[in-house]
Amino acid sequence: MIYAGIDAGSRAIKVVLINGRDRRVMGSGIADQGLKQEALASRLFDRVLKRAGVRRRGIRRIVATGWGRDAVTFADTTITEITCQACGVYREQGDAKTVVDIGGQDSKLIRLDTGGKVRDFVMSDRCAAGTGRFLEVVAARLEVPLGSLGELAGLATKPSAINSMCVVFAETEIIGLLASGEKPANIAAGVQASVSARIASMAGRNISEPVVFTGGVALVSGMTQALESALGYPVRVASRAQLTGALGAAILASRPE
């Protein structure tokens, strides 16, 4: 039996197929999120199925998660990304105690119990501070691709102090820094530090090792180091860091109801 997890995030859609017998990953895919959420998810799903050589009716059960989970109407049920992330990370790194997930529009910190169950979680509130969207805005302002933000930050001599936690104000602050002649490298490093500091304050003192980093932002160079120095703990980037939510959804789909 084959099971599917679809993580319809704010910036990207992720699909994972697993084999129910051994829960091995049989296929996966990532596509940009957009206006026609259902159609985009469906198209990606078909692509992943085709690559894996599986037909839709060969899929026993589909679980959707992520912000757009309710738009995935062909899913059998929905489960929140908190539960799915925990499950997916547990499958990838069984000893994980804390998950830091930074996605497109929010950040979460999940503490795990034994067996990949959620012990508790905290999430960023209303604004886009400390999220992938925030980094995107900054990268665009500094005219570097998001993926190169870390390389740029690596050249910093003295990271700028970015105090604004609001993505709109931070952009204004960055414009001010650029106008005053600050080096883009220092700004990039300052922004990464401020995003990480935001996560650290959200965590309070509730960090247990090992800390595993997931979500699209885990793939942005330099973020792991920035997070390590803010948290004061080593941070591991999850294997398949962008797919752990979808993986967790697929595993949960395979569980007897």
Partner 1 sequence: MNKQGKKKNASSAGARARGQSNQRPSSCCGKVRPASGVDAGPLAWFNDMVDHCLDYAAAQKKQGKHIVGLTCEYTPRELILAAGGIPVCLCGGDEGMIPAAEEFLPSNLCPLIKSTFGYSVRKENPFLELAELVITETTCDGKKKMYELMAGNRRMYVLELTQKPDDPDALAHWIAELRKLGGVLAEQFGVRITAGKIRDAIALMNRERTLRRALAELMKAEAPPLTGCELLNMKSIIAGIPADLEQYAKALRVLPGRKLDPPASERIRVLLTGVPMPHGAERVIKIIENNGGLVVCQENCTGIKPILEDVDAGAGDLMLALAEKYFHLPCSVMTPNRRRLDLLRRLVAEYRPQCIVEVIWQACLTYDVESFFVRRLAEEELGRPYLRIETDYSPSDSARIGMRIQALFETIKEHRTK
Binding region for partner 1 (CB under 8 A): 67, 79-83, 106, 113, 117-121, 123, 125-126
Please report how close the Cβ of residue 126 comes to partner 1 at its closest, in angstroms. 5
Does an H or E element contain 27, and which?
A: strand 25-32
CA angle 48-49-54, nearest 5°? Answer: 150
Nearer to partner 1, 108 or 240 (CB): 108
Nearer to partner 1, 29 or 66 (CB): 66
CA distance 14 to 48: 10
The pairing of strands 98-102 and 107-112 is: antiparallel
Residues 78/69, Cβ–Cβ less than 8 Å: yes
Please report how close the Cβ of residue 81 comes to partner 1 at its closest, in angstroms. 7
Nearer to partner 1, 60 or 117 (CB): 117
Nearer to partner 1, 85 or 242 (CB): 85
> Is the peptide bond preceding residue 184 cis, with omega within 30 degrees of 0?
no
Residues 6+ apart with CB under 8 A from 10: 33, 66, 67, 68, 103, 104, 105, 106, 133
CA distance 79 to 64: 6
Please report how close the Cβ of residue 169 comes to partner 1 at its closest, in angstroms. 12
Nearer to partner 1, 119 or 141 (CB): 119
Nearer to partner 1, 132 or 222 (CB): 132
Please report how close the Cβ of residue 186 comes to partner 1 at its closest, in angstroms. 30
Please report how close the Cβ of residue 118 comes to partner 1 at its closest, in angstroms. 4
Please report how close the Cβ of residue 220 comes to partner 1 at its closest, in angstroms. 23
- CA-to-CA separations, 242 to 29, 116, 214, in angstroms, rounded: 10, 18, 6
CA distance 234 to 227: 9
